[in-house]
Amino acid sequence: MSNDLTITDLHPSVDDITGDVLRGLSATPKHLPSKYFYDQRGSELFEAITRQPEYYPTRVELALLADCGPRIAAAVGPRAHVVEYGSGSGRKTRLLLDALEDPVAYTPIEISRSALTASAERLDREFGDVEVLPVLADFTQAVPLPTPSRRADSALVFFPGSTLGNFSREESVRLLAAMRDTMGGSGAALIGLDLEKDPAIVEAAYNDAAGITAEFTLNLLRRLNRDLGSDFDLAGFAHRARYVQPEGRIVTTLESLRDQVVTVEQQQFAFARGESMQVEQSQKYTDARIGALASEAGLRVVDGWNDACDWFGLRLLRRA
């Protein structure tokens, strides 16, 4: 990392993670927060998922960003401070920064230190005129942004990957409202959205033949064992992902393969054979669905772009 590239560290503490896990395991039905998937190994596994033939969202969104870059740049305007929620590998960011006119700064907000460092280093090398100001934090909470040394005309919140779909409706509205505050009066948010389509296509994307998504899901338990000293037996749980058509979403669970007891922070949690613990959901969108969410958060959809098959979309939101 270059000498003048400094990470602002607002990463959740072990106490934060412990509290979230204990609350989830005490609930009925049990659940775990998907944001803790992304330790170093989890980030590596997710990047591997995005390259599986069944997993269309990343491939289609990358092509969409490449095809629509000039139109997105015209809609956003020059000299933007780009703020990305969940930077990942930076492949999509590179396409956006290439397309925008004179972007002033780039602030990736990422919960995985390894993913944040790697992405910030690469983009800092590639975009010498763009000030890179990384923040290690949980973007689902309010995050104070670093101030660029050069004045920006606007803030652009970039939230690709249809990650918005991992949150409940209430959480999505809160997150969009936080984006509204971050973008300010003249800013915007560019959001990637996985659109409703044939359920068989969707289910295949979350149950790849190579089993990488299953390994990714189970790695959450491995991470908790390492960081919290819990004793999840990874062989005692299995990855399950199914499409709930009336709700238009994928629900990913870990199913207990036998009666068992798990200990976390000296508290014991019993699992029955066949009991499912939700670890992620992935909402699929229609224009009506995203329009209603945006309106509830004080935003409006002002522009949008879809791929040729209408599998994936990008939507530009501004204050209502």
Lowest mean pLDDT among 6-10, 88-92, 110-114, 144-148: 6-10
180-202 pLDDT, tens digit per residue, is: 988 989 999 999 999 999 999 99
The domain ranges of the chain are: 56-197+284-319
Could you give phi then psi for residue 171, rounded to 5 degrees? -65, -40
- Residue 15 confidence (pLDDT): 73
Three-state DSSP class for 86?
coil
Give the span between the Cα atoms of 262 and 274, in whole angstroms.
15
214-247 pLDDT, tens digit per residue, is: 999 999 999 999 999 999 999 999 999 999 998 9
For strand 154-159 and strand 188-194, is the pairing parallel, antiparallel, or unpaired? Answer: parallel
Can you read off the two tokens belonging to residue 220? 């959450």
- Residue 3 confidence (pLDDT): 43
Question: Is-contact 228 32, C-beta < 8 A?
Answer: no
Residue in 63, 36, 67, 91 with CA at minimum distance from that of residue 227? 36
pTM: 0.90
Q: For the domain 56-197+284-319, what is the CATH code?
A: 3.40.50.150
| Banded model confidence at residue 11, pLDDT cuts 50, 70, 90 | low
252-266 pLDDT, tens digit per residue, is: 999 999 999 999 999
Sign of CA dihedral 148, 154, 155, 157: negative
Contacts with 9 (C-beta within 8 Å, 6 or more apart), sequence order: 136, 137
